[in-house]
């Protein structure tokens, strides 16, 4: 039994183990966090909407806000629901109703955190708006979404909107160093740079990549980071692009093979990395004028992949277009 418990503790995902407990621990979202801290001081809060890409602290901020507001009564006053719950909107509405109809414990209101609220249909959003109004006395809602444009206007206008930003390298680095220290890992500058590169501002991804690597070694190698995250080193992608631009199509194709079969990258992974490297290239390597055309090409093939065309064929066709461009 004890053995089992130990095992479970060891397996706890680090994104949970190291989820911020207080608002001050949520890094990189200074403006949002200081406003939330002011709500804690005044024991008051409006309905809110947290928007921004995945893994940057939206859920963490909501949980930390509730923990600071409620202390020991946190569990009884905070409800977290996922709007994309497969059991449907009626189940969600039922849960909201059950939770909201009783008064808050040692507080003026409870908080309902509705994750992925942009997954709700417009009808469901209208219903949610009515629910929100019905329970204004006892509850505050925090809606979390990737795109605020997918939320109907009447809901938006009832919420204070907080825009969360992708995290900067320094914020990710500092957090990872802290975790590495606690876990007894050695994380040098190269490995750290690699994690920052593959995680693209997404702290959840950064922490997951670190945990996956730590299962393999205590001194984390740059190589391992790229392996566990199915990303290629920037250099490998740059080389494929430059070879393609030179018109050496067969060689570019070999390099593409390497990305897809050795690194296990999906077509989408390849395209997004190609896009990053083209946009980030220096003027002497890819002049701005050429970038315009290349981004146009990348956009076209990205669209085809999303539409479900054969990845391999489309990526080769993209490289062939690059070859034409290089001339
Ligand atoms: N701004 C941040 N500061 C500190 N840790 C973060 C931050 N953003 C994300 N994390 C880490 O990543 C995990 C996932 O973050 P989460 O708040 O669930 O992201 P989101 O809700 O924006 O998708 C957290 O448990 C935490 O470990
Ligand atoms: Mg979340």
58 lines ligand 1 (CB under 6 A): yes
Ligand nearest to the CA of 178: 1
Q: How far apart are the first and last CA of the chain?
A: 68
Q: What percent of the chain is modeled with pLDDT above 90?
A: 82
DSSP structure class, residue 79: E
The set of residues, in sequence order, having a beta carbon less than 8 Å from that of 263 and lying 6+ positions away, is 226, 227, 230, 231, 232
- Dist. CA 41–CA 82, nearest whole Å: 28
Among 47-56, 86-95, 242-251, 286-295, the least confident range: 86-95
What is the arithmetic mean of pLDDT over 94-107? 91
Taking the domain 169-228, which CATH number applies? 1.10.8.60
DSSP structure class, residue 149: G
| Mutation choice for ligand 1 from 29, 201, 203, CB with most ligand atoms inside 8 A | 203
80 lines ligand 1 (CB under 6 A): no
On the 0-12 / 13-18 / 19+ scale of CB atoms within 10 A, 201 is buried
Q: Looking at residue 17, what is its pLDDT?
A: 95
Q: Looking at residue 264, what is its pLDDT?
A: 86
Nearest CA to ligand 1 atom 3: 26
- Dist. CA 130–CA 70, nearest whole Å: 26
Q: Looking at residue 93, what is its pLDDT?
A: 86
Band of residue 133 on the pLDDT scale cut at 50, 70, 90: very high
What distances in angstroms separate CA 76 from CA 21, 106, 136, one per listed residue? 17, 10, 18
Q: Say whether 170 sits in a helix, a strand or coil.
A: helix
- Dist. CA 176–CA 194, nearest whole Å: 12
Residue 2 in this model has a pLDDT that exceeds 50: no
| Mutation choice for ligand 1 from 57, 148, 162, CB with most ligand atoms inside 8 A | 57
| Mutation choice for ligand 1 from 33, 54, 55, CB with most ligand atoms inside 8 A | 55
The set of residues, in sequence order, having a beta carbon less than 8 Å from that of 4 and lying 6+ positions away, is none
Q: What is the mean pLDDT of the chain?
A: 92
Residue 135 in this model has a pLDDT that exceeds 60: yes
pLDDT, tens only, 17-47: 999 999 999 999 999 999 999 999 999 999 9
The answer to whether the beta carbons of residues 15 and 128 sit under 8 Å apart is: no
Compute φ and ψ for 11, nearest 5 degrees: -90, -5
- Nearest atom within ligand 1 for CA of residue 18: 27
Token digits of residue 50: 């947290």
Q: Looking at residue 284, what is its pLDDT?
A: 93
Nearest CA to ligand 1 atom 6: 57
What is the arithmetic mean of pLDDT over 283-288? 93
The answer to whether the beta carbons of residues 233 and 312 sit under 8 Å apart is: no
Q: What's the angle, vertex CA 269, arms to CA 265 and CA 272, rounded to 5?
A: 150
201 lines ligand 1 (CB under 6 A): no
199 lines ligand 1 (CB under 6 A): no
- Residue among 187, 180, 262 at smallest CA distance from 219: 187
Domain 2-163, second-level architecture? 3-Layer(aba) Sandwich (3.40)
pLDDT, tens only, 260-279: 998 889 999 899 999 999 99
Q: What's the angle, vertex CA 147, arms to CA 141 and CA 149, rounded to 5?
A: 90
Residue 193 in this model has a pLDDT that exceeds 50: yes
26 lines ligand 1 (CB under 6 A): yes
CB atoms within 10 A of CB 164: 22
> Domain extents for the chain?
2-163, 169-228, 234-326
Spelled out in words, what is the top-level CATH class assigned to the domain 234-326?
mainly alpha
Residue 3 in this model has a pLDDT that exceeds 90: no
> Using CA of residue 315, residue 316, residue 320, residue 323, what is the dihedral sign?
positive
Ligand nearest to the CA of 81: 2
29 lines ligand 1 (CB under 6 A): yes
Q: Looking at residue 5, what is its pLDDT?
A: 46
- Nearest atom within ligand 1 for CA of residue 62: 17
Q: Looking at residue 10, what is its pLDDT?
A: 59
54 lines ligand 1 (CB under 6 A): yes
- Dist. CA 124–CA 202, nearest whole Å: 29
Beta bridge partners of 48: 142, 160
pLDDT, tens only, 152-186: 999 999 999 999 999 999 999 999 999 999 999 99
What is the arithmetic mean of pLDDT over 298-323? 94
């Amino acid at each position: 039994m004890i053995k089992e418990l130990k095992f479970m503790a060891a397996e706890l995902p680090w994104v949970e183990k190291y989820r911020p407990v207080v608002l001050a621990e949520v890094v990189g979202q200074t403006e949002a966090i200081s406003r939330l801290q002011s709500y804690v001081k005044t024991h008051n809060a409006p309905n809110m909407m947290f928007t921004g890409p995945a893994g940057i602290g939206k859920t963490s901020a909501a949980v930390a806000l509730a923990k600071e507001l409620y202390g020991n009564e946190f569990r009884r006053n905070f409800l977290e629901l996922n709007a994309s719950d497969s059991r449907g909107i009626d189940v969600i509405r039922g849960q909201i109703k059950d939770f909201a109809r009783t008064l808050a414990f040692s507080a003026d209101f409870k908080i309902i955190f509705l994750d992925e609220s942009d997954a709700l249909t417009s009808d469901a959003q209208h219903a949610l708006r009515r629910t929100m109004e019905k329970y204004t006395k006892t509850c505050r809602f925090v809606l979390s979404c990737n795109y605020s444009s997918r939320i109907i206007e009447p809901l938006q206008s009832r919420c204070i909107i907080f825009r969360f930003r992708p995290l900067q390298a320094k914020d990710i680095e500092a957090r990872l160093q802290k975790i590495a220290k606690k876990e007894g890992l050695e994380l040098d500058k190269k490995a750290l740079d690699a994690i920052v590169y593959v995680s693209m501002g997404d702290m959840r991804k950064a922490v997951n990549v670190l945990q996956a690597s730590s299962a393999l070694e205590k001194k984390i190698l740059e190589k391992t980071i790229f392996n566990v995250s199915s990303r290629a080193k920037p250099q490998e992608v740059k080389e494929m692009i430059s070879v393609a631009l030179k018109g050496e199509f067969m060689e570019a194709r070999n390099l593409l093979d390497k990305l897809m079969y050795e690194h296990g990258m999906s077509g989408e992974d390849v395209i997004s990395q190609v896009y990053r490297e083209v946009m980030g290239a220096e003027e002497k390597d890819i002049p701005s004028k050429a970038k315009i055309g290349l981004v146009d090409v990348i956009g076209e093939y990205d669209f085809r992949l999303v539409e479900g065309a054969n990845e391999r064929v489309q990526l080769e066709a993209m490289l062939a277009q690059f070859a034409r461009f290089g001339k």
